[in-house]
Structures are given as structure tokens and as C-alpha cells.
Amino acid sequence: MSQVFPHSFSRRFIHQPLRFLAATLLISVFLSSHVHGSQDPRVALQVKAVSILASVRDKHGKVVANLTKDDFAVEEDGRPQTINYFAQGNTAPLRLGLLVDTSLSQSNLLDQERTASYSFLDHLLRAEKDLAFVIKFDREVELLRDFTADRGKLQSSLGLLETSEFRPSSASGGHSGGFGPGSGTLLYDAIFLAADELMSKQEGRKALIILSDGVDRGSKETVDEAIERAQRSDTLIYSVLFSDEESFAEGHKNHGGPYGAPKPRNASRESPDGKSILEEISEKTGGRFFEVSKKEPIEKIYSEIAEELSAQYSLGYTPDKGAEPGYHKIHVATRQKDLRVQARQGYYGGP
């Protein structure tokens, strides 16, 4: 059974403490002392360590999977950090979310997306270890399938990906931008809700895959809020720009907005650059941006994502100044200058 996220639902966990990327590492330091010949109760101090998922490619774009801990260097806010945890490969469980744009601009693409997405999930997910969920978004954000490893249930949920005809909206509930079904595109809300309501409760490697043209219309959250929530839930975002220019142009024809929808109040420009937005979302969360084309079909893109997820490095360090509140910049590099590291740009310390 699918679930439409109500607006109040999106804020339920907004004040919950930060969970660092992948499994949060807790280091317990036990101190004991003697005062006046008697032993004080043992005190436990917990220091949180930051964990980073990183992918490495050579100058030809090929995945590099044979590096060691000594090949990496990590900085936080410009200060070198000591790597005290290192693992290579896909040993940790994977939590994957598929977010599919079902607004009218995507109507001609959904059949191809369904087929390719199921093949990807069927190939990638390991039985009894990895889980995935499926969300569709247009004027509402709808959870079609919660975390599951059941191929049949995932296939069934992908079969529910469809657009709705435009009509004036009279509904008062739901996480909606106020447009008719299919006429809104709540991309930022979908990311926020997936990260906040689903990924924040999970441990292990976490990634969202977005299939969209990148143009948000009607979200209550901003792109910055969506990115922050993904960072706080330690989630990588892989963005796949899949657009149908003919369908998009037809929707604007003779209308005041896309498919007759009014222009959102928070719109800052006539024609948002969906590509730049998706690139920003992926870069800041440590994921990667792709664009579907004849030379780069969605099947090939999914294959590249699967390869990358299977060859990630997990790096962990304890901040030299502790996990102070606020945003901290992270820079990960290799000592081999011709290699490129893909990792998130920072994390949030404190609540």
C-alpha cells in the first residue's frame, strides 16, 4: 500500500540529533580514579567519529578499487585528520531509495524508467542484506513501497509509476504544492522526506537515486534545505537527468505555467536550470550526476552507479576538535595526484 506524505509528517524528526554517515562509530573511553583511597564510579565518555563514503576514478573515468588507507588524506575545515577506520568494497549493508518524477513532463519516459529501474534493483540488491524503497513525486510525494528486499513488491511498486491528468486541486491535505495532480513537481520535498523520514533511521551505506528533469515547482522546502537534510542523514544522492523536451514544451504552450499551473510563489526565475540543480545536489552530498542521452542511455547509467556502489571506500576519523555544532567542510584526496575522489563536502555537528 502506498503512502502520501502529509506536510506535518515532513517535520517530525527535524530536531533529532545528527547521525553521521554510514554506521555511527562510538568510541567509549572509560576513566577511573582514586580519591582519598576510594575508587570513583567509572565514567563513560562517548566521542562520535565521522565516516565518509568515497569513490575514486582515474583520469580516464575508470573506477579505482585497489587503494589502501595510506593512499588517502582527509581534512576537516582545513586541518589534517587521522584516519582510524578503513574498509573497501560493499561489505556494509546498502539502503537505497528510488525517487521518480511522475509529473507530466516525464509522461513519455516512464515505461523506460520502470524497466531499467527494476533490472537495476534486481541486479544490485543482495538478499538478506540490502533494502530499497520507491517514491513517486509530482504534486504530492507518495511512498509506493517502504524498505524491502522483495523483488516482487519492488516490481509491483514500479508498476504504479504513472502521471495524473491535470485538474484544479481541491484537496487540502497532503504534501502538495497546491497544483492539480501531475502539474506540480515536488522534487525538494521528495528529497527532504526521503532523507528525514526514511534514511535518517537507517545505518550502513545510504543512497538516493533521482530520476527527474530537475525542475522543482511547488515544494515547501528549498533546495538548500533538501541538501542539508540529505547531509544530516548521511545519504549520497545520484541524480539522473531524464528529460523529454517535446513533452515539456507542449505543456507550456498557451498556458500561464507548466500544464496550466500557476507559477509557484517561491519561483526565482522563469526557466529553472534543472541540470545545474541536480548537479549541485549530487556534488554536495557526495553522489554523482548523470544525463540520459543516446550515447549514455539509462541502462548504462544504472550500470555505472552499480559499479560505483560496489567499489566504495569507507573512511572514518575522530574530529581533532570534537564534533562541534555547525557545518564542517571535509576534503578527501589521494596521494596519487592523477586520481579523482568523489565524496561529500561536509557534515553537520550537533543537533
Whether the pTM exceeds 0.85: the reply is no
Domain 3-14+91-310 maps to which CATH number in 3.90.170.10, 3.40.50.410, 3.40.225.10, 3.30.360.10? 3.40.50.410
Q: What pLDDT does residue 93 have? A: 93
Q: What pLDDT does residue 271 have? A: 54
Domains of the chain by residue range? 3-14+91-310
Q: Is residue 46 within 8 Å of residue 303, measured between CB atoms?
A: no
User: What count of residues does the chain have?
Assistant: 351
pLDDT along the chain (351 residues), means of 10: 56 33 35 38 52 94 95 97 92 94 87 93 93 96 96 94 59 41 80 97 95 95 97 95 64 42 45 89 97 94 95 93 87 95 91 70
State the Cα–Cα distance between residues 64 and 83, nearest whole angstrom: 19
State the Cα–Cα distance between residues 286 and 54, nearest whole angstrom: 8
Q: What pLDDT does residue 164 have? A: 64
Q: What pLDDT does residue 339 have? A: 97
Distances (CA, A) of 258 to 37, 134, 171, 253, 254: 78, 25, 20, 8, 10
